[in-house]
Amino acid sequence: MSERIGFYICHCGINIAYRVRVAEVAAYASTFPGVVVARDYLFMCSDPGQELIESDVKKYDLTRVVVASCSPRMHEKTFRSACQRAGLNPYHAFHMVCVREHGSWVTENEDDATEKARIIVRAGLKRVSFQNALIPSQFSVNSNSLIVGGGIAGMQAAIDIASAGFKAYLVEKAPTVGGHMLQYDKAFPTLDCTACIGTPKMVAVGQDKNIELKSYCEVEHVSGFVGNFKVTINNKARYIKTNCTGCGDCAKVCPVDFPNEWDVNTKMRKAVYLSFPQAVPVRYVIDKRTTAPCRTSCPAGTNVQGYVQMVKIGNYQQALNIIMERLPLPGVLGRVCPHPCETDCRRALVDSAVSIRDLKRFAADHARLEDVPLPEVEEIDKKIAVIGSGPVGLTVAYYLRRKGFKVCIFESMEKPGGMLRTGIPDYRLPPAILDQEIGHILSTGVTIKTGMALGRDFTLASLKDQGFDAIFLGIGAHVPVKMNIENEDADGVVDAVPFLRKENLEKAGSAKKRVVIIGGGNVAMDAARVAVRSGAQSVSVVYRRTEQEMPADHEEIEGAKEEGINFITLVGPKKVVTENGRVIGIECIKNKLGPVDAGGRRRPVPIEGSEYVIACDMIIPAIGQSVETEPVLKDTHFDLTARGTFKVDPFTMQTSEPGVFAAGDAVTGPATVVEAIAGGHKVVKAIERYLNHEMDLFDKERKQQEENTKPDEKNFVPIPEDAALVARAKSVFIEPVTRKSSFEEVDMGLSEASAQSDAGKCLNCGGCCECKLCVDACKAKAIDHDIKDEREIIDVGSIIIATGFDLLDPTPMTQYGYGKYANVFTNLEFERLSNATGPTLGKLLKRDLKDRMKFTEPPKSVAILHCIGSRDINYHEYCSRTCCMYALKYAHLLKDKCGHGTMVYNFYIDMRCFGKGYEEFYKKVQSEGVRMIRGKVGSITEATNGMLTVVAEDTLSCRMLEIEVDMAILCTAMEPRSNAQDVMRKFGIGIGADGFFQEEHPKLAPVSTPSSGVFLAGACQGPKDIPDTVAQAKGAAAECMALSAKGIVEVPPMISYIDPDVCVGCQVCIVLCPYSAIEFDYFNAISVVNSAVCKGCGSCAGHCPSGAAKVRHFTDQQIFAEIDGLLLN
């Protein structure tokens, strides 16, 4: 059938016609094959223009229509409707060519513009004949709306939608609704109290049954399309349940202080807080961040931040209670722990790490173990045998007992404690402390049998016979490792482990005159320092690397040096020199450091021919210990590791023998006390699950861990910029001269004052310290620290984005000294000062020069600086539109609150008082005696007395001014939200050149976005004041209500389809489709598009190797025709 085409070119007044010779283009079109009528017309989009098309269709029996005018994004819909009215299928019949935006407006020369128009018209005329009839699909509209942002825009939109009888979900990421408006004091120009006009809106959104308020929530994901969106919302854990009464008892006991964001950090709040008294919902929230690094670096997972805070406030018993949650031996660890927590302490970024270990000891020394509460549990009739009473055995016994199990410890020595008793010298760990803490563990109902050695007095089999349901092996590593050198067994060579055991238990004084210790670990240091105390006259430590590589703790090395111990480094033992079978020296060889080995330390390389002899009477090797496995292996077979330790599953800690668990040195080889305790906790969990037949839970955790490989983003509390430098608290030590001859404890611990001041250094990295004092304080029992974030999916038909704005941070503008000079404020800080719920309860006061949180007396003179970051090519070119007016308001408030004599200077560029009543307000404030100076301030400087000198040019009188003031206020620019990019991507909207969200059309569609069904309201679209915000919010609400009321939406039919006759079933498109809209039809072996899900992106069509996948209205024939038209005559 031959096509009959009508062609129309628009003059657009003169917008097109001034560059494009429209008649010439129409004349050209008339010569094109198939064109039966070609016209030019003044305004094609006008009613007569559209009627022209309609009548021509009938008159000339047109089958196709091409209009050359503005962008199809402008009037494609208009002309499609005209064609439809004329009885044509618009997708079949109509094509639009853009000769204005892409032609007349961007081409300077008339000939060029006309030629360009001719060519693109030719392409359009060629294309149109290949178009097919399409019918848009219709979908129902979900009548719920989602509003993102609970400021005045969001609240107003929600109220309007709810009042129309539709449901609104109002999502706010802060704990309260209100937004910026509720942070302000008065609203210009009428000076109404913002709280008075704002809180009723807050209450309304909190109470309206059609509004579901979701505070402290964030939108995570949006899918679907207009009328049918699916939105994933994350309900952030508030840790306070809905039965919170808002009484504030929790905040009274909370030990953690942070600057309050709501008051822009002019005031402190607790970790559990309400943003401000009128917050909606009236429900507290606990500020929890990423778990503090001290806590995560503790192998046993002790709540370090918690007990440090308790020491800070002097609640030592609660500190001990918190420690005892994870550490059964607080006094022991307070003395001997190598404190990995302090290595990770972020306070070190300010001055030095908090003395965490010393604080733990302080708490243990100042609180009573008997008062540590035990959980109320029922006795469980299951018996567990714990073999070994070292730290791991005691941990397993204590925490299983706390759960109600019956526990019996078997210990081979006469007294319990394992290495704590035999290995750690008394001057570091007094036996009285150990006895006291073990005594407490036993007092909880743990039974112990001492002098019972495995393999000698009992076997694993005999334990099972006695009815033990599970067995724990915590036998430690007590067998010395040999040096493997000549004469190692000579008289006078005593290994560190037996040496220390003998000295610790018997005080035998067995050291000879000249002692050489081999090794550089903590055991070597202990042996050396014990040797000094046991009669040695000279003690040398021989180590094969340098002091830097020594594994011993720094404190121990220093302590040893103070006690006169000689360090011989880069030397290795080669042979024991003997005379009559007795040691007279040790032959050593010097080393140099070679390349780094697998352990990350540089390998010692012997230097040939450098051998020499160190004369000595006694050699104490301290190069490691291994596990004594023979007595265990006698009756049961166990899998061992290459190092001769017990092989266990790293999750369940179960050995190769079911029901037998192991941990501590027996598994890891020699390690620290806290690592042993960490292993103990894993065993406790495992034995409990084993006895409850829940071992499959470990498989789930294993799987989760495998899947969860990406590290979480760290969200610690930021380090305060004004943190004062505080020296690290130091314990009192006994003088080296005195301590060398005694086994008395060397470290006397911290004084109360230094403990509290050191605890005060803690930055509370994790936010809430989880001391749980609030849990006890809450009478409503509303606090639950175990609440987790919860995700939910809601269905909505329309969305309003009302995410507001951020204020520019003026810190980088160093010329104004913000952050450096005490009395330079931002506008929002000033608003909070003026607000009755702010830091000064509404008084306008100067800041104390030394303490930023303190405010002193009213200012006598104030400079208000307009356009800080607005109308400034270095920051934002746009005008923030509100600053002139609120600056006038500030001037009025200062005169009003601080007295008429207060000098107020407004430094402006231009006064923009454009709204209703605004100019009148300007006149009124001027009449109050406020000085208006046209000129931007160049700099502010501060004198030692805190007075500020403001330098500016008065551009009206052309004079330089230097004015002294008490206070300066920076009227900072309104900026797009810092997360605007994220929001843009989530909702598929656009961002304009200024960074704010872009409306679909600046004049005619100011609340719509390119994403159908997503609307904008308020300052997220551009700076605006409250009246404009409310008006736009009402407009956006009306758009949502229009969709909901109509109930039906048409979706453009330009979606993909796959030609079943051509598809070969390769399924490449299925992988490419971003919406999973393509399925495979196994019966016919072809891919099929699900048209309800497809959005028509053409990912499939662009790739399909057989050409079966196509996008309707963008088919190959149509595009080829367009290309031909552009390039071929």
Partner 1 sequence: MSEFEPKIVGFFCNWCTFTAADLAGTSRLSYPHNIKIIRMMCSGMVDPKYVIKAFLNGADGVLIGGCWPGDCHYINGNLKARRRVAMLTEILKEYGIDEKRFWLRWIAASEGTMLREVVSEMTAKLKALGPSPLNREAPGKEKK
Using CB under 8 A, list all residues that contact partner 1: 71-74, 98, 100-102, 105-109, 112-113, 115-116, 119-120, 123, 981, 984-985, 988, 990-993, 998, 1010, 1054, 1072, 1074-1075, 1095-1099, 1101-1103, 1111, 1114, 1116, 1119-1120, 1122-1124, 1126-1128
Tell how far CA 867 is from the center of its chain. 33
- At its nearest, how many Å lie between partner 1 and the CB of residue 81? 20
**Helix, strand, or coil (residue 272):** strand
Nearer to partner 1, 545 or 986 (CB): 986
What are φ and ψ of residue 38, in 5° steps? -135, 125
Q: At 447, which helix (H) or strand (E)?
A: strand 447-450
What are φ and ψ of residue 681, in 5° steps? -65, -40
Nearer to partner 1, 116 or 428 (CB): 116
- Centre a 10 Å sphere on the Cβ of residue 66 and count the other Cβ atoms it contains: 27
Burial (CB count within 10 angstroms: exposed 0-12, middle 13-18, buried 19+), residue 710: exposed
- At its nearest, how many Å lie between partner 1 and the CB of residue 149? 21
Nearer to partner 1, 115 or 928 (CB): 115
- At its nearest, how many Å lie between partner 1 and the CB of residue 219? 17
- At its nearest, how many Å lie between partner 1 and the CB of residue 895? 43
Nearer to partner 1, 592 or 985 (CB): 985
What are φ and ψ of residue 357, in 5° steps? -65, -40
Kindly state the tokens that stand for 37.
Answer: 């009528």
Residue appearing with tokens 């049961």:
636
- At its nearest, how many Å lie between partner 1 and the CB of residue 848? 45
CA atoms within 13 A on the CB side of 320: 23
Nearer to partner 1, 73 or 252 (CB): 73
First-to-last alpha carbon distance for the chain, in angstroms, is 23
Can you tell me the distance from the alpha carbon of 47 to that of 159, in angstroms, rounded to the nearest whole number? 38
Can you tell me the distance from the alpha carbon of 40 to that of 475, in angstroms, rounded to the nearest whole number? 100
- 1007-1037 in b/e form (b: 16+ CB < 10 A) is bbbebbbbbbbbbbbbbbbbebbbbbbbbbb
Nearer to partner 1, 582 or 1103 (CB): 1103
Determine the residue type at 72.
P
Can you tell me the distance from the alpha carbon of 166 to that of 171, in angstroms, rounded to the nearest whole number? 16
- At its nearest, how many Å lie between partner 1 and the CB of residue 275? 33
Nearer to partner 1, 651 or 1057 (CB): 1057
Kindly state the tokens that stand for 553.
Answer: 């703790």
- At its nearest, how many Å lie between partner 1 and the CB of residue 125? 14
Q: Using an 8 Å Cβ cutoff, are 429 and 420 in contact? A: yes
Nearer to partner 1, 120 or 1041 (CB): 120
Nearer to partner 1, 45 or 726 (CB): 45
**Helix, strand, or coil (residue 476):** coil
- At its nearest, how many Å lie between partner 1 and the CB of residue 1099? 5
Q: What angle do CA 826, 829, 834 make, to 5 degrees?
A: 125
Could you tell me which residues come within 8 angstroms of residue 874 by beta carbon, excluding any fewer than 6 positions away? none
Could you tell me which residues come within 8 angstroms of residue 850 by beta carbon, excluding any fewer than 6 positions away? none
- At its nearest, how many Å lie between partner 1 and the CB of residue 98? 8
Can you tell me the distance from the alpha carbon of 376 to that of 841, in angstroms, rounded to the nearest whole number? 46
- At its nearest, how many Å lie between partner 1 and the CB of residue 102? 6
- At its nearest, how many Å lie between partner 1 and the CB of residue 217? 24
Nearer to partner 1, 7 or 216 (CB): 7
Please give the C-alpha separations between residue 363 and each of 337, 373, 589, 747, 756, in angstroms, as whole numbers.
15, 16, 47, 15, 11
- Write the DSSP assignment of 315-348 as a string of letters: -HHHHHHHHHHH-S-HHHHHHH---HHHHH-GGG
Nearer to partner 1, 59 or 73 (CB): 73
> What phi-psi label fits residue 842: left (phi over 0), alpha (psi between -120 and 50 degrees) or beta?
left
Dihedral angle, C-alpha 899, 900, 906, 912, nearest 10 °? 110
- 646-665 in b/e form (b: 16+ CB < 10 A) is bebeebbbbbebeebbbbbb
Can you tell me the distance from the alpha carbon of 563 to that of 391, in angstroms, rounded to the nearest whole number? 29
- At its nearest, how many Å lie between partner 1 and the CB of residue 130? 14
- At its nearest, how many Å lie between partner 1 and the CB of residue 107? 5
Q: At 519, which helix (H) or strand (E)?
A: none
Nearer to partner 1, 369 or 991 (CB): 991
- At its nearest, how many Å lie between partner 1 and the CB of residue 1042? 23
- At its nearest, how many Å lie between partner 1 and the CB of residue 1129? 9
- At its nearest, how many Å lie between partner 1 and the CB of residue 699? 35
Beta bridge partners of 867: none
Nearer to partner 1, 679 or 1098 (CB): 1098
Nearer to partner 1, 425 or 1098 (CB): 1098
Kindly state the tokens that stand for 53.
Answer: 């098309």
Nearer to partner 1, 95 or 772 (CB): 95
Could you tell me which residues come within 8 angstroms of residue 271 by beta carbon, excluding any fewer than 6 positions away? 254, 256, 257, 258, 286, 287, 288, 764, 767, 768, 769
Can you tell me the distance from the alpha carbon of 237 to that of 787, in angstroms, rounded to the nearest whole number? 6
Nearer to partner 1, 833 or 1077 (CB): 1077
- At its nearest, how many Å lie between partner 1 and the CB of residue 15? 10
Nearer to partner 1, 123 or 313 (CB): 123
Instruction: Dihedral sign for Cα 652, 657, 658, 659, please.
Output: negative
Nearer to partner 1, 791 or 985 (CB): 985
- At its nearest, how many Å lie between partner 1 and the CB of residue 986? 11
Can you tell me the distance from the alpha carbon of 1020 to that of 980, in angstroms, rounded to the nearest whole number? 8
